[in-house]
Structures are given as structure tokens and as C-alpha cells.
Amino acid sequence: MNLVLLKPCEVDEKGCARVSDRRAQHLRTVLGVGPGRQLRVGITDGRLGAAEVLEDGPTGILMRVVLTGRAPPPPAVRLVLAIPRPKVLSRVLQSVAALGVAHIDLVNAWRVQASYFESPKLALDSIAADLWLGAEQAGDPQLPGVEVHRLFVPFVHERLSLPASGELRLFAQPNAESPLEAAALGTRHRSAIVAIGPEGGWIEAEQRSLCGVGFRPVRVSDRVLRVETAVASVLSQLELVRRLERRSESPK
């Protein structure tokens, strides 16, 4: 835990917050906190600050919170992700929250098994818990928005039909001709939507649907990657592209 993450409602009018759940257990057993200890804190609305532990008692750990600023906005990236196997989903969501995106769309696809939609891992409270863990790890209080879509074609053609100005649209596909950096570098994009399919990639009909609303297929690696590796690789490569473009625009 690199940040004690709180909801706005957990901070009272005196600027104090009390935690008695998993967070308190972690603070005690892993970080060994006690009265007087200073901690980094964040509020899920994006505010950051520090907290002093006032007491640790049977009702939890009480801390005084002082908010000093706001976290920078998350990368303007929307991730469209074909729902992976439930045992993988938690790891992927935690990684995505740690790396930072603005929004996640969990979508159906031909290679997604129907049983995945019945998994408790897809329940909104479970998704929120995984995103929370990723945000704590990254030290970023902002959680991405999440939506689950059971029908792929209506989602693509109704929710993604109108590209925004300056928006980069890519979908990862094994053996695509263009590598991601070739498609992204030089575009000066303000925002991006990237779609990552199930293991084995998007089928041809899904690829046509994505191309029909302005997406380009890109190759993430010359190796065959699992979904969780592909997600981390895509988001990292997009971040590198943004850094390179900012550097090229800086005065010399």
C-alpha cells in the first residue's frame, strides 16, 4: 500500500477519518503504524495529502487528514477489453488501475465464454475492489470508470461510432502488419481508445466492426502474449509514445 485511499464520505467535518477494514489490518501488520506516524493519503475524487495517525483502538485507526492538492489527471486512454478468464480478470484490473486509464469497457467477444458473465469477479463491487488495490499500489487516488457490455456489435456501433477530433483508435491483433509505435508516433493525439481482444485475438467480423469505426490493427509484440501481458505492454507503449512526442515538441 503506497497510498491510504479514502472515499470522500470517510473524511468528517473535522478532517478526520477512521479505517477499520483491510486497510487498518495492512497498516498495522505490514507498515507497523502507530500514533504520530505520517501517511500519504488520497481521496477517490483525486485530492492528495497527508495524514497523522491519532490512535489505534478497537474501532480502527483514527487519522487527521490534511489535503494539499490534486493528482494529475489520468492518461486520456479508454481501454476496451474483451473479458478475460475470471481468474485473470482481477490481475488485469489491478494492473490497469496502477498504470492509469480514464475508462474501461469490458466487452463480450466471440472467443469470450458465456460463463464468464456469471462469475462473481465481474460483479461491480469485485471490480471496484480490484481497481482500489491497483490505485493503492500506484499511489494514484483516481479510479477509472468501468462499464460491462454483453453485446459487442451494438457497443461498437452505438458507443464508439463517432471518433473525437484528435482521437487515436487502435486494436491489438497478433500478426498485424503495423507495430503500435508506427501507428501512434506522429499522430499528436489528445486521447486514445485501444481495444484488446481475448487470447487468440479478435475474429475477422470483430476486426471489420472495429475498422468500420476508425480503429487500426496494430502489433504489440512479435511474441505471443497473454492478455494480462498484452494489456501492460499496450499501455506502457502508449505512455512511451506520449513521452517521445512531448520531448519532440519541447524547445531545444
Instruction: Enter the pTM of the model.
Output: 0.93
How far apart are alpha carbons 11 and 9 in whole angstroms?
A: 6
What mean pLDDT do residues 20-41 have?
A: 96
**Could you tell me if 223 and 167 lie in one domain?**
yes
Q: Tell me the per-residue pLDDT of 94-110, one tens digit each, with 9 for 90 and over.
A: 999 999 999 999 999 99
pLDDT at residue 251 is higher than 70: no
What mean pLDDT do residues 214-226 have?
A: 94
Write down which residue in 70, 88, 106 finishes a domain.
70
- Residue 144 maps to which CATH number? 3.40.1280.10
**Could you tell me if 139 and 214 lie in one domain?**
yes
Q: Tell me the per-residue pLDDT of 150-199, one tens digit each, with 9 for 90 and over.
A: 999 999 999 998 888 889 999 999 989 999 999 888 777 889 999 999 98
**Could you tell me if 54 and 158 lie in one domain?**
no
**Cell numbers at 219, concatenated:** 502489433
Domain of 86, in residue numbers: 77-249
CA dihedral 109→149→206→224, nearest 10 degrees, is: -50
- In the prediction, which pLDDT does 164 show? 82
- Residue 51 maps to which CATH number? 2.40.240.20
**Could you tell me if 101 and 44 lie in one domain?**
no
Write down which residue in 22, 52, 70 finishes a domain.
70
